[in-house]
């Protein structure tokens, strides 16, 4: 029996280090499958279709939603974002884990979906607002107005911290990453994520009977 893959949902306000953590986790375990979101927003400089996002027209996105091809989707600042279902199910079918970088709305929809029992959710909190703002400004691509809008959105995102299974405070990125890897390792030791155990116990019983 193939192991059932888990759905690892990383949620945090923009600027709390989520993307860095996601990138390091993918480097740490290349067997992880990253769920690339689809979006109707325009690509930013340097973004590649299929890598940062699957860039879609509004019509194409809405058609995917209608035909059930989105595991979750939501509208944020007038743009649609969503997680295509097919790659997730393909990974699960061969026992691989999928990493999601989604907001609280996406996390909630995946938790409430038929795949909810396979979800492990981790919320990443910033240590302070000053730190959050400095990380947002560090990207240096956005105007003050956009920064202000993102800060508001970050606070609204933070208000959903209590919906996740685990919470990390990202005071230090190395420590936060070690904690995240610890969570993934532990979750993989959960009984129902180790399908080989039933076979091992059968073998123990056979060996005992033959003694």
Q: Closest distance between a second copy and the C-beta of residue 46, in Å?
A: 30
Per-residue contact string for residues 143-172; x = within reach of a second copy by CB under 8 A: --------x---x--xx-xx-xxxxxx---
Does 202 bind a second copy (CB under 8 A)? Our answer is no
Distance (Å, rounded) from C-alpha 90 to C-alpha 30? 16
Q: 55-78 in b/e burial notation, b at 16+ Cβ within 10 A?
A: bbeeeebeebeeeebbbbbbeeee
> Which of 49, 93, 182, 195 lies at the binding interface for a second copy (CB under 8 A)?
182
* Number of residues located near a second copy, criterion CB under 8 A: 38
Nearer to a second copy, 141 or 182 (CB): 182
Q: How far is CA 210 from CA 5, 7, 18, 198, 204, in A?
A: 35, 41, 53, 19, 10
Q: Closest distance between a second copy and the C-beta of residue 102, in Å?
A: 18
β-sheet bridge partners, residue 100: 9
Helix (H) or strand (E) holding 122: strand 119-125
* Cβ–Cβ < 8 Å for 14, 136: yes
Per-residue contact string for residues 111-150; x = within reach of a second copy by CB under 8 A: ------------x-xx-xxx--x-----------------
Nearer to a second copy, 43 or 127 (CB): 127
* Cβ–Cβ < 8 Å for 104, 11: yes
Nearer to a second copy, 76 or 186 (CB): 186
> Which of 79, 195, 197, 199 lies at the binding interface for a second copy (CB under 8 A)?
197
CA 112 from centre of chain: 15
Residue of 4, 180, 165, 190 lying closest to 97 (CA atoms): 4
Does 48 bind a second copy (CB under 8 A)? Our answer is no
Residues that bind a second copy (CB under 8 A): 123, 125-126, 128-130, 133, 151, 155, 158-159, 161-162, 164-169, 179, 182-183, 185-187, 189-191, 194, 197, 200-201, 203-205, 207-208, 211
């Amino acid at each position: 029996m193939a192991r059932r893959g888990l759905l690892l949902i990383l949620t945090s306000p923009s600027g709390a280090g989520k993307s860095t953590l996601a990138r390091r986790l993918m480097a740490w375990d290349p067997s992880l499958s990253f769920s690339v979101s689809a979006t109707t927003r325009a690509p930013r400089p340097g973004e590649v279709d299929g890598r940062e996002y699957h860039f879609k027209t509004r019509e194409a996105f809405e058609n995917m939603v209608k035909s059930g091809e989105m595991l979750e989707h939501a509208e944020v600042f007038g743009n649609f974002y969503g997680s295509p279902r097919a790659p997730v199910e393909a990974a699960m079918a061969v026992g691989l884990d999928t990493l999601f970088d989604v907001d609280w709305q996406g996390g909630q929809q995946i938790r409430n979906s038929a795949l909810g029992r396979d979800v492990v959710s981790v919320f990443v909190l910033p240590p302070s607002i000053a730190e959050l703002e400095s990380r947002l400004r560090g990207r240096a691509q956005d105007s003050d107005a956009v920064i202000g809008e993102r800060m508001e959105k970050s606070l609204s995102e933070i208000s959903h911290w209590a919906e996740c299974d685990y919470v990390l405070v990202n005071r230090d990125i190395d420590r936060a990453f070690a904690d995240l890897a610890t969570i993934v390792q532990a979750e993989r030791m959960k009984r129902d994520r180790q399908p080989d155990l039933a076979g091992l116990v059968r073998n123990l019983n056979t060996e005992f009977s033959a003694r």
